[in-house]
Amino acid sequence: MPTTILNPSKSKEQLSPEPRARELSAPGPGRKRELAAFLKAAGLRFKNQGFLNQAFIHRSVSNESGRLGNNERLEFLGDAVLGAVTATLLYEELPDKSEGELAKIKSVVVSENVLAGVARELQIDSLLLLGRGEELSGGREKNAILADTLEALIGALYLDSGYRAARDFVSRWMRGEIHRVQDNRHYQDYKSLLQELTQSLFRSYPEYALIKRSGPDHERIFWVEVMVDGKTFGPGMGKNKKSAEQEAARLAYRAFSES
């Protein structure tokens, strides 16, 4: 990618060329309310919600409907912005690390699992627009799709508001991930890890149960337990059912790992 794309000294016109109008997907009234709620929760601002909406449109939608436009081009752009900002953070905050050490940390910080974890915290999964086939195959929970969508969101923010806004957003989320990677506390997909473990040990699958939910819609808390080989672990708590399941899986996985 040309280096001028990431040069914050360039004018907005040079940094953010307007895509062809046909590539933008204008959200309807109901969708606008969903996007506005997301922006408020994420602490973001968008001048053009068409950019934001486009970030959540998976290619399966255009593949099935023939509709023009999905988030792949935004993902391509967001990947470059994410990489540049993360590399800068590592360079500035870890002056004692060698090039090789910085590269290893960066590879984990921008890995699919970590990005998918951030996407879940932002509840991006609930805003995804998927084709019917992808929806039925569990696409809303796939790490690859969630990670790609987060990158598309970064690309959309960059086009809408410029490099500084994208840099601030990435810094807000990636700075903590850098420290977690250093302390070996970075995001891991505990549901997948627990499933692999239970299949190996017991030839069965974990069973999750929602036992409680509380609070208003915008501040709802979920409690989930998981049963493995007749034993119950949890409850795990989270802002949505999936994050609560991840926490319950983490508790169960740690219990088996430490026994």
Q: Is the pLDDT of residue 66 over 90?
A: no
Instruction: State percent of the chain over pLDDT 70.
Output: 86
Q: What integer is the mean pLDDT of 193-219?
A: 88
Query: Sorting pLDDT into bands at 50, 70 and 90, what band is 128?
Result: very high
Tens digit of each residue's pLDDT (9 = 90 or more) over 1-32: 333 334 433 433 334 434 443 445 577 888 89
What is the helix (H) or strand (E) element at residue 227, kind and residue range? strand 221-228
- Active-site residue, from 134, 148, 151, 225: 151
Give the per-residue pLDDT at 124: 94
Q: Which domain holds residue 197?
A: 190-258
| Domain end marker among 182, 205, 240 | 182
Angle of helix 112-121 relative to helix 163-182, nearest 10 degrees?
A: 110
Answer yes or no: are the C-beta atoms of 174 and 86 closer than 8 Å: yes
Please give the tally of structural domains in the chain: 2
Is the whole model's pTM more than 0.85, yes or no?
Answer: no
168 is annotated as an active-site residue: no
Q: Are residues 32 and 149 in the same domain?
A: yes
Q: Which of 136, 156, 182 is the last residue of a domain?
A: 182
- Residue 6: per-residue pLDDT: 44
Looking at residue 83, what is its pLDDT? 96
Q: Which one of 75, 79, 189, 225 is the catalytic residue?
A: 79
140 and 194 housed in the same domain? no
Does residue 135 have an active-site annotation? no
pLDDT of residue 12: 38
244/224 Cα distance (integer angstroms):
6
Amino acid identity of 33? R
pLDDT above 70: residue 185: no
For the segment 231-243, the average pLDDT, to the nearest whole number, is 90
Rounded average pLDDT over 251-257 = 86
Same-domain status, 225 and 119: no
My answer on whether 159 and 228 are in the same domain is no
Both structure tokens of 256: 């088996």
